[in-house]
Amino acid sequence: MATSTGRVTGTTRDRAAGAADGARGRGRPGQPGPFRRAVSQYWYAWAMVAPVVVVTAALVGWPLVRGVYLSLTDATEATMGRTIGVNVIPSTYEFTGLDNYVDILTGGLFWEKLTWTVLWTVACVALHYGLGLGLALMLNRRLRFRSAYRLMLVLPWAIPPFVAAFIWRYLYNSDFGVINAMLRSAGLGTVGWLDDPTTAKIAVIAVNVWIGVPFMMLAMLGGLQSIPRELYEAAEVDGATPWQRFRFVTVPGLRTVSSTVLLLGTIWTFNMFPLIFLITGGGPGSSTEILVTYAYREAFTGIRNYSGSAAWGVLILLLLVVMAVVYRRALRKQGEVW
């Protein structure tokens, strides 16, 4: 794994040693000195990580604790304490235990949103990966105009996502959008892309695929180029068919980079807020709302339901953490040192 990107790594041995001694964070076994010795040995390392630890603790840790606490109360905009001018209105929300979670898990909405979020994530990541790998394989061949193709295919990634969201919203526009204009000039009926739950879902997936494929393509291309040519030559000498070469040389060679980009891609897509928020606003109704945008809507529209939103957030985080842990286990079983 350490040589996955083909770079020289100087710390492989240390990392292996660190993993081998197993004890949580104990760097150098066999030197169990007193506290002062630890300080004098590690103070510079601690000093270097201190700013990030402090920032993270203050801005992620504290809000997290507070978020978990809020999720156990009935805090809404109405009961949250605030200051208007010189009047300080105290908070009146109360601790309600797991009520929010029970409400969410027993109501149908959560499961409906979860189903769609999973579908959205799986569809997007599968298409990203499939198309990205396909294009990378094509670009990895000896080919005229290769850099031109590469440049054109990478371009969607260069557009900031919120700008891309607006572009596509305009393309999908039922009256003035170019997609419907094309359908009209082809003599076909127009489609209200963002007005119908099914087409709206297809539409947002299409946009996310458009945005996400370039990253996958470049990552896979990097992976392909780091597979030594000799392996292919040897396979050819052995009379392997193109399919066999793909199956037994390319696929194993891409495993490391694949596992990384799939994990990253899944997390990114799962939390992909701006696209859905800006293209459909979750609509029509709440049919394209994924978990993240729904929780946001709870918190910031109508009567702001802070506690409900926090409970949604905790559930989303739990889902992601469970996923990452399971994924890591699976990789370990395959012998990946991660």
Partner 1 sequence: MSAVTTRRRVRGRDERSLAGSLLLHGTLIVASLISLFPIVWLVLTSLKPRDGWLSTELKFFDGASLDNYTRVLTETQFPSWLLNSVIIAGLTTVIGVFLASTTGYAISRFRFPGYRGIMWMLLVTQMFPVAILIVPLYNLMAGLGLLNQIPGLVIAYMTVAVPFCAWMMKGYFDSIPREIDQAGMIDGLSPFGTFWRVILPLARPSLAVTAFYSFMTAWGEVAYATVFMTGDDTRTLAAGLQQFVGQYWADWGLLTAAAVLIAVPAAVVFLLVQRNLVAGLTAGATKL
Binding positions for partner 1, 90-129, rule CB under 8 A: none
268 vs 277: CA distance, rounded Å: 15
Smallest gap from Cβ 28 to partner 1, in A, equals 7
Which residues are registered as beta bridge partners of 73?
Answer: 95
Out of 239, 285, 302, 335, the residue judged to bind partner 1 by CB under 8 A: 239
Rounding to the nearest 10 degrees, give the CA dihedral for residues 239, 248, 139, 164.
Answer: 160
Out of 2, 118, 123, 202, the residue judged to bind partner 1 by CB under 8 A: 2
Which residues in 157-176 contact partner 1 (CB under 8 A)? 157-164, 166-171, 173, 175-176
Smallest gap from Cβ 106 to partner 1, in A, equals 20
Out of 31, 33, 55, 228, the residue judged to bind partner 1 by CB under 8 A: 55
Nearer to partner 1, 14 or 119 (CB): 14
Out of 263, 284, 287, 327, the residue judged to bind partner 1 by CB under 8 A: 263
By CB under 8 A, is residue 282 in contact with partner 1?
A: no
By CB under 8 A, is residue 70 in contact with partner 1?
A: yes
CA dist list (Å): 299 to 99, 222, 277: 17, 41, 14
28 Cβ neighbours under 8 A, 6+ residues apart: none
Out of 153, 200, 204, 205, the residue judged to bind partner 1 by CB under 8 A: 153
By CB under 8 A, is residue 67 in contact with partner 1?
A: yes
Rounding to the nearest 10 degrees, give the CA dihedral for residues 175, 176, 179, 182.
Answer: 90
141: DSSP letter: S
Smallest gap from Cβ 125 to partner 1, in A, equals 15
Tokens representing residue 124 in the block: 């997007």
Tokens representing residue 90 in the block: 């105290």
Which residues in 287-316 contact partner 1 (CB under 8 A)? 291-292, 295-296, 299-300, 306, 309-310, 312-314, 316
- 275, 208 contact by CB (below 8 A): yes
Out of 79, 96, 271, 287, the residue judged to bind partner 1 by CB under 8 A: 271
By CB under 8 A, is residue 277 in contact with partner 1?
A: yes
Out of 89, 122, 182, 330, the residue judged to bind partner 1 by CB under 8 A: 182
Smallest gap from Cβ 271 to partner 1, in A, equals 5
By CB under 8 A, is residue 231 in contact with partner 1?
A: no
By CB under 8 A, is residue 38 in contact with partner 1?
A: yes
Out of 242, 285, 302, 335, the residue judged to bind partner 1 by CB under 8 A: 242
Smallest gap from Cβ 163 to partner 1, in A, equals 5
By CB under 8 A, is residue 82 in contact with partner 1?
A: yes
Smallest gap from Cβ 320 to partner 1, in A, equals 4
Which phi and psi angles does 210 have, rounded to 5°?
-55, -40
9 vs 286: CA distance, rounded Å: 49
Which residues in 195-214 contact partner 1 (CB under 8 A)? 210, 213-214
- 174, 194 contact by CB (below 8 A): yes
- 42, 271 contact by CB (below 8 A): no
Q: Is the dihedral of CA 148, 154, 156, 158 positive or negative?
A: negative
Q: What are the residue ranges of helices labelled H in 226-305?
A: 229-237, 242-245, 251-253, 255-270, 273-279, 291-300
